[in-house]
Structure 1
């Protein structure tokens, strides 16, 4: 759950881990005629800034040269820690827990499972606070936020990364639900107050999970597919569906069926909020229309929010990201069964 800096004197010498702060180092840049290095650093409790170190072995003496996120240092931030559990096949799986402010390591908390996209992204000890990664905003509303690094996530080796093939949602979905079970069993999460959500592949997975269990009181999903044939044809990265499912639609017909939420949608009982960009070419808005239509036919409480002119990244208008999270938080409060923290 961390990204540290390693150095190599010369080929083929081994890599040496530098003694840095706990957290995540990114975009490391070395000077041509000086031992100085610059990098971006953050952790759960330290907002992202650019730092300068006199050399790679003096990371802990590095000084910030930007203060873009100073406002976050002036208020109490949610604390977090890694959490590990064992999958049904014996694999070790890891994720992050982000606690409500003032409730670090408290027990029996209402829990929101926030699923990262990619699927090859990974959550860890770094600072993010935006429309895509809004764990701190949810935590500030009283939720324990569980961010599972399910099979298919980066940072755990090639075997783990490729463990999503060809069971693109069912295998990682099991990882996630087993993590939820473990947190309930350990007394960390309140089994009667569980919610789930995510965007892109995180939305994809959310759509799948609400067909597999009714344990979640509510769900918030964004830009996620509910089937694979249309998504294979509409997705601007068509290769990923075919690769992850072991073939094109006519070559893996049964798997395209078995790994699709739409063919099990009649099992859904979870009130669901949906969001999409009208011009998304990664996951076409037609997938959201399909889910919305199905939930309406099943008389499941639901709402669909579509942002005009937006693609997959919701980058055309910064207000759209704010509106997205605002409406998702309102939905969690309405159906999640907890009172919003002041």
Structure 2
């Protein structure tokens, strides 16, 4: 959860959640025995005294919080079981440890509390009171002072319909009922209150109805009028995807707009005005933060291919290129020779779509010829590979290039930043169409003499793993493959992951409605064609792509006699964010695999 500034700007509230809801080990059967026994706190940091004030909130599982209208009270949310304790006890007697799956999911809920803080000289005391229990999880919370309301975002650990994720309001003068504010097939997030306290702004992506059918859209920015429920879209004239925003003191909005590989800063005065582009550096701007003073300075994070992330400050948005760095946390990368990059474009000759990607050249070999090629495919499929600098286990193109590879990161069909139609074209052909996109990019690199046709490799994580699994069934050209958390059989994915709506929208229906799509687009049914040695990794408790998908791939390749290795990271989910050693081990072993099979000798022998 992001830190929250107090109304006066004197305090920052931080929720150090030691036991997030994703840590509940049994996703099918939540029970009170699985919940944390440790004491939890909200920590308040004073920007005046540089001291921390811990606020005890009990043995709970905190979800989110928001300040009230002053520095002395706030609201916070905890996970709760809606099933009465006596029912839990009687159910245990009757059913023992038998899981009633659908029934157990219906008990997931949240408790909203208000906490009042009384600060004395050296001590503080608190009073906590229950506001309301609600029958769903809450991921975001806003306090609306003008109307004495809370605006909240619903969620579930099982998303079978997108309207599970919606916005509600709660009148604090009468908490008996919730008012639903949205009802759509969008995923709303990043709620912020306008300066006049009458509108809630939010980002959303998903599907919208057009001429009787649902079409996928890139991420957009909307404004909801709390007085009449009317929703307006901001940035309507922008063809790309809106990555973020910040409300200015005069009510206008700074918008972070992603177009292709670039994310730049724009301003919009109101929904009826056009966007104004602010000329800055090429690259990616993130997380704009504003002073509470009118026309005060602007802070942001910036990075590019060759400039690592740092925090910058500028007094005037019109002087963006003169921004000064406030941090130097990534100085190490500036002292090393980094790969040089180039935007590379090609066409899919089936429909003449222009596809582009990012070519990372090994240090000292910019625009050289006959280089070994590593095709590194982003996940999503929406988040684009961009003109930014991130060095981690997921975004490791610079490291692979430093090991001697020409790395191509393709922004295939389905990627944000290239228009709604481009994004929408991945659906119903989720692997075959983007698969053709990226293979044609490999073809052109070979035809242009840039890539060595005898030294090709492919890899990716999440949706990049999906595509890797598909590509090795379509060609034997790759000497090595790195499959991370990728699916191989879509019907079983639909039936087991926490968000079956994802598979439903990708394939264009349920398994019994479009069985041909589920069958043809599943790599497992084409596995006999594989000749590529494949390295596989998965998190033991991944709910986004079940580990069983990786086990199926490993078993199939083993039966076929293809060199294969599967690594399972204990207690890790999809994000591999619990034990940092696992990210290091992942990349270490993947590099070993690339070097081990960096020739065609095994493929030629097998053929």
Q: Which has the higher contact order (CA 8 A, sep 6+)?
A: 1
Structure with more strand by fraction:
2
SS in 1 for 2:264: coil
Task: State the shift of 1:8 in Å.
Answer: 2.6
1:322, distance to aligned residue in structure 2 (A) = 0.2
Aligned equivalent of 2:594: 332
Q: Give 1 or 2 for the bigger CA radius of gyration.
A: 2
Deviation at 1:13, TM superposition (A): 2.5
Residue 545 of structure 2: aligned partner: 283
- Tell me by how many angstroms 1:9 deviates: 4.0
Task: Return 5+ residue gaps in structure 1 as ranges.
Answer: none
2 CA distance for matches of 1:29 and 1:11?
A: 21
The aligned residue for residue 145 of structure 1 is 407
**Which 4+ stretches in 1 moved above 4 angstroms?**
none
2:579 pairs with 1:322: no
Of stretches 231-240 and 29-38 in structure 1, the one that deviates more from structure 2 is: 29-38
Superposed CA RMSD in Å reads 1.1
Matched, 1:246 2:508: yes
2:452 is paired with a residue whose SS is strand
1:48 aligns with one of 309, 314, 323: 309
- Please name the residue that 1:180 is paired with: 442
Match of 1:23 among 283, 302, 305: 283
1:59 and 2:59 matched: no
Q: Is the 8 A contact 1:235 1:282 kept in 2?
A: yes
Number of aligned residues? 338
| Equivalence for 2:478 | 216
Separation of aligned partners in 2, 1:107 and 1:154: 31
8 A contact 1:48–1:69 mirrored in 2? yes
Structure 1 residues 6-60: Cα deviation after superposition (integer angstroms, max 9, x where no partner): 1234552221211101111111223232342111100000001111111111111
For the residue of structure 1 that corresponds to 2:551, the secondary structure is: helix
Residue 361 (structure 2) pairs with residue 86 (structure 1): no
Contact 1:26-1:40 at 8 Å conserved across structures: yes
One of 260, 273, 279 as aligned partner of 1:13: 273
Equivalent position of 1:296 in the other structure: 558
- What's the CA shift string for 1:182-224, capped at 9, x where partnerless? 1111111111110000000000100000000001011011100
CA contact (8 A) 1:46 1:127 kept: yes
Deviations 1:222-248 (A, max 9, x none): 100001011101111110100110111
CA contact (8 A) 1:224 1:288 kept: yes
Alpha-carbon deviations, 1:145-171, whole Å to 9, x = none?
A: 000000000100000001101101000
Task: Say whether the 8 Å CA contact 1:35–1:56 is kept in structure 2.
Answer: no
Q: Determine which of 89, 99, 117 is the counterpart of 2:361.
A: 99
Superposition deviation, residue 105 in structure 1: 1.1
Deviations 1:90-149 (A, max 9, x none): 111111001101111111110000000001010121101100111011101100000000
Q: Which structure: greater helix fraction?
A: 1
Secondary structure of 1:321's aligned partner: helix
**Distance in 2 of aligned mates of 1:37 and 1:23:** 18
What is the aligned counterpart of 1:156 among 393, 418, 421? 418
- 1:61-103, CA deviations, whole angstroms, 9 ceiling, x for partnerless residues? 1011122211111111111011111112111111100110111
Gaps of 5+ in 2: 1-260, 601-607
Partner residue, 1:36: 297
